[in-house]
Amino acid sequence: MKFNRYAGGTGRILFLILLFLALLLPAEDLSAMTRKIQGPVNIESDFLDYRKDEDTYFARGNVIIRFTDGVLEADRVSLNKATNEALAEGHVVLKSGGDILQGDTLRFNIETKSGATENGRIFMVRNNVYLKGARIEKEGEAHYRIFDGKVTTCDGEIPEWSISGKEMAVTIDGYGTVKHGKFNVLDQPIFYTPYLIFPVKTTRQSGLLMPTLAYSRDKHGVDVEVPFFWEISKNLDATFYQRYMSKRGFKEGVEFRYMISPDTYGTFYADYLNDTKDIRETSGSIKRDWHSDQQRGSFYFNSQTTFSPGFYLRTDINKVSDNWYFKDFSSQNYYKSNYSTDPMQRFRKVSFDADKALNSLDSTVRMVKDEELYNITALARYTDDFRSPSNDETLQKYPEISLYTVRRPLLKTPLYGMVNGTYDYFYRSEGQKGHLYDVQPVVTLPVRLGRYARFVPEFSVQQTIWDRNDHDEENSSEGTHQGDRQVYRMEANLNTEFSRIYSVGWKLFDKLRHVIKPELTYAYIPDPHQDDAPDYVQRIDETNGLTYALTNTLTARMKGEDGTTTYREILRFKVFQTYEIDKVEHYYHEVGQPEDEHFQDLNMELNLDPCSFLSFSARNRLNVNNGEWWKTDYDLVVRDQRGDSAHLQYRYTEDLVKEINLRVNAKLTRDLDALFTIKRNEQDGKDVEKSVLIKYHRQCWSVDVGFADEGDDQRFLLSVSLYGIGN
């Protein structure tokens, strides 16, 4: 017989049976399931009865109860209305949201939401967790007690690893505990523990996070960090970092995060270390001779407060106690872990790569008003220079107020205009400091020359006024205390574009669009007369030059198997060079840049990206007067469908940089990967870093073994990961 019930009588009671049976699932799934079970419930059974004297409902014989996103199967289902005791017997299977509960019997109390199943098995799809036991008791919303039980995240009848015990307690989104536990490999016990705690977390919740274990031969020694996460409220949490380094001592750190709305959020972090390591070291112009009890630490505050669309306050404050902080802790630190250039990651906003090569650190606070026609920004910036023993001569900027307008038509004329203006106060303890006012109106006249060319002349006047207040009489000759500068700019750009489409009919792409864009730009800036300007005023070069540029692009049209059309720019090659009509002296003279020749460097930029398996880029500069390349940068990336990849990088700047970097990721077998990295400074003939990492991974576990030599330190890594449990 088949029964369909929507309200009242037998259908209502069986609906309650179904609803409270679902309480045996994890709490998060239960709440979702409760929300969804609102429509018709389909009940199939060989017999359905109500016994008034027992006040009990019975469904017997191949019972199948279907509901939204779930199904219950059993030989028999009954409910005692007086005691609120429900019982499902015989081949019990409850499926919901991908999770599966199986057992011989399932008994539970509707009011207390507790119960038990014999010979039970539970599969939780979110963490791929398998639980089984001779008896499973449910105590509350998401707490289980398992007798003679086993837990694993491995598929198969004989799991590759498992944790078993006489008595286990598991709280979903919490922790599991095991009494008289064993860690098993292929169901064979490896070691015994009288008591064990392991995480069973799928959502944000207070508790211990997985620790970090490391060994550093020279810098830290044995290195152990144990973080504790505290969910203070829905919009506020904290993480406490307890780190012990045998060669340095205890390092305490704390992070607070808040989110008031999607556009208003922030992160605060600080750490402190009483460094007990004795160090004597020199790097460039800085040196240290440290003994025990060196007080060290760092501070970080990142936040964004949005008052209205386009109007917000952004803070990025970064501070460390000394110039050596990132040199000492480059292998592991909070800033490296939270470095990201992805604007969508609200709580990973560290904007710098925190390694030992970091030369300076900026802190900024800015208020931004961004409208359709203009942008106003108020900024304060403080810079720490790690290359200098003192920060007294480092130029700071607070505040800066800038106004930028968009290019708009001027009245009803063909002219377009815009205005840029800034006010700065530059400060430092030693050296020139003071006020700077700068305004620059710009007028352009875009002209179309027929169908094929575009001519854009542009004229601007930049007025700069300074007012020094450092009262440095000895250096007054290097810059007047008050003065101004006018810079006249005249520029004209002539460009055109030729294109053609080729039907190639290749497998990878069927059409190619070739675009050639020649450009000719003339720029003229007469002598700005700025010799009396203070050193915090940026110099502008006298210019009378003609720059030509030629850009070639190839864009491919690709057809997917589903018929969709996509486009990829597979080639971009640009060549440009400036001819100085008048030989002038440049204030900011680059290495290799000729000062007394008309033809300046020949610049070449190449991007090659024909497919997802290959990419190549080059940035080169040629000194045409002596025929030598004074700057060459290359990047080559090769990949395949298996996951193998290689990234080769070459950097060269004459008399400054010459380095080769190689990173290779090889899929040796289906389960074995090898990662090799080398960074070599050819200028000094030294290896900056050499590392190798072997990764062996299976369906439910992995192990990493690695070694890194960074010149001033050697690190060893052994990491074991049990998926769903931790590292």
Contact (CB, 8 A) for 382 and 376: no
Q: Which helix (H) or strand (E) holds 15?
A: helix 9-21
The amino acid sitting at 639 is: R
Q: Taking residues 367-392, what's their average pLDDT?
A: 94
Of 145-154, 206-215, 326-335, 395-404, give the range with the top mean pLDDT. 395-404
Tell me if 568 is assigned to some domain.
Answer: yes
How do residues 527-542 score in pLDDT, each as one tens digit? Answer: 888 889 999 999 998 8
Predicted confidence at residue 8, as pLDDT, reads: 36
Give 383-407 pLDDT, tens digit per residue. 999 999 889 999 999 899 999 999 9
pLDDT at 584: 57
Domain of 124 in residue numbering reads as: 2-200
What are the φ and ψ backbone dihedral angles of 689, each rounded to 5 degrees? -155, 140
Same-domain status, 183 and 245: no
The per-residue pLDDT for 353 is: 85
Whether residues 119 and 218 fall in one domain: no
Going by pLDDT thresholds of 50, 70 and 90, the confidence category of residue 546 is very high
End-to-end Cα distance, the chain: 53
* pLDDT at position 574: 97
Do residues 466 and 610 share a domain? yes
Q: Is the pLDDT of residue 22 over 90?
A: no
Give the per-residue pLDDT at 462.
Answer: 96
Of the two residues 37 and 259, the one the predictor is more confident about is 259
82, pLDDT greater than 80: no
> What confidence score (pLDDT) does residue 626 get?
86
**Domain check: are 482 and 500 in the same one?**
yes
Confidence (pLDDT) at 415: 95
Kindly tell me if the per-residue pLDDT of 642 is higher than 80: yes
Residue with tokens 């015990």: 165
Per-residue 3-state assignment (H helix, E strand, C coil) for 123-177: EECCCCEEEEEEEEEECCCCEEEEEEEEEECCCCCCCCEEEEEEEEEEECCEEEE
The pLDDT, as a whole number, for residue 726 is: 54
Question: Quick check: 76 and 63 in contact, CB under 8 A?
Answer: yes
Instruction: State the Cα–Cα distance between residues 344 and 541, nearest whole angstrom.
Output: 40
At 12 the pLDDT is 38
Please compute the mean of the pLDDT values over residues 565-579 and round it to a whole number: 94
Residue 363 lies in a domain: no
Give a yes or no: residue 350 inside a domain. yes
Domain annotation covers residue 618: yes
Given 587, 604, 639, the domain boundary residue is: 639
Whether the pLDDT of residue 13 is over 50: the answer is no
Residues 232 and 103 in one domain: no
- Are residue 217 and residue 339 in the same domain, yes or no? yes
User: Does pLDDT of 174 surpass 70?
Assistant: no
Could you read off the pLDDT of 427-471 as tens digits, one per residue?
999 999 999 999 999 999 999 998 889 999 999 999 999 999 987
pLDDT interval class at 589 (50, 70, 90): low
As a three-state string, the secondary structure of 466-520 is EEECCCCCCCHHHCCCEEEEEEEEEEEEEEECEEEEEECCCCCCCEEEEEEEEEE
Is position 39 within any domain?
yes
Q: Is residue 214 part of a domain?
A: yes
Pair (251, 185) in one structural domain = no
339-366 pLDDT tens trace: 876 767 777 788 888 888 888 999 999 9
**Which has more confidence, 203 or 27?**
203
Confidence of residue 16 (pLDDT cuts 50, 70, 90): very low
Is the pLDDT confidence value at 6 over 50? no
Q: Work out how many domains the chain is built from and give that number.
A: 3
Task: Give the chain's mean pLDDT.
Answer: 84
| Residue-wise pLDDT tens digits, 110-120 | 666 677 888 98
Residue 563 in this model has a pLDDT that exceeds 70? yes
Same domain, 568 and 605: yes
Residue 319 sits in the same domain as residue 436: no
Cis bond before residue 399 (omega within 30° of 0): yes
Handedness of CA 308, 319, 205, 164 (dihedral sign): positive
Overall pTM > 0.85: no
* Whether residues 209 and 61 fall in one domain: no
pLDDT of amino acid 65: 74
Model pLDDT for residues 155-171, shown as the tens digit of each residue: 988 999 998 999 988 77
CA angle 316, 322, 326 (to 5 degrees): 70
Radius of gyration of the chain (CA): 35
Question: Are 592 and 483 in a shared domain?
Answer: yes
Burial 53-75 (b: 16+ CB within 10 A, else e): eeebbbbbeebebebeebebbbb
Residue 43: give its domain's CATH number: 2.60.450.10
- Final residue belonging to a domain, choices 200, 218, 242: 200
| Residue 688 domain flag | no
Res 276: pLDDT: 93
By the 8 A CB rule, do 93 and 73 touch?
yes
Q: Which residues pair with 383 in a beta bridge?
A: 362
Cα 466 from Cα 479, distance rounded (Å): 10
Residue 186 forms part of a structural domain: yes
Looking at 181, 200, 219, the residue that finishes a domain is: 200
**Residues 143 and 228 occupy one common structural domain:** no
CB 92 within 8 A of CB 110: no
Confidence of residue 228 (pLDDT cuts 50, 70, 90): confident
Q: Are 163 and 140 in contact (CB under 8 A)?
A: no
Residue 619, pLDDT above cutoff 60: yes
**Whole-angstrom Cα distance, residue 620 to residue 576?**
11
Report pLDDT for 245: 94
Instruction: Give the mean pLDDT of 79-85.
Output: 76
